[in-house]
Amino acid sequence: MFEIILKIALLGISISILGLVYRIIKGPSIHDRVIALDAIGINLIALIALTSIVLDTSAFLEAILLLGILSFIGTVAFAKFLERGEIIERDRNL
């Protein structure tokens, strides 16, 4: 029973990722696209975690941590770019 629930969850998350890819391509604004990219990162973490449970291994835990860090940094960079128009501020007084 647990295996069936895990496979249904994997299928649901995969369908969710496909829907988010559509939102990235078709999104009405850049803000929607950034939110979709962040949600894809979260769903990929869940997908890897469920795959790790199905395969009964802990080999994917480092990948989950790395993907979480990269997703967070990417979201912060996109938010800063949308707010200020640049990611790395340079001192222009020099």
| pLDDT single digits (tens) 27-80 | 888 889 999 999 999 999 999 999 999 999 999 999 999 999 999 999 888 888
Distance CA 63, CA 80 (A): 26
Displacement of CA 27 from its chain's centroid (Å):
16
92 versus 2: the higher-pLDDT residue is 2
Whole-model pTM: value is 0.82
Structure tokens at 49: 């975690």
Helices (H), the chain: 2-26, 30-55, 61-84
19 versus 82: the higher-pLDDT residue is 19
Predicted pLDDT of residue 93: 66
Predicted pLDDT of residue 21: 96
Nearest to 36 by CA among 25, 48, 52, 50: 25
**Alpha carbon distances (Å) from 67 to 62, 86, 90:** 9, 24, 28
Predicted pLDDT of residue 94: 59
84 versus 45: the higher-pLDDT residue is 45
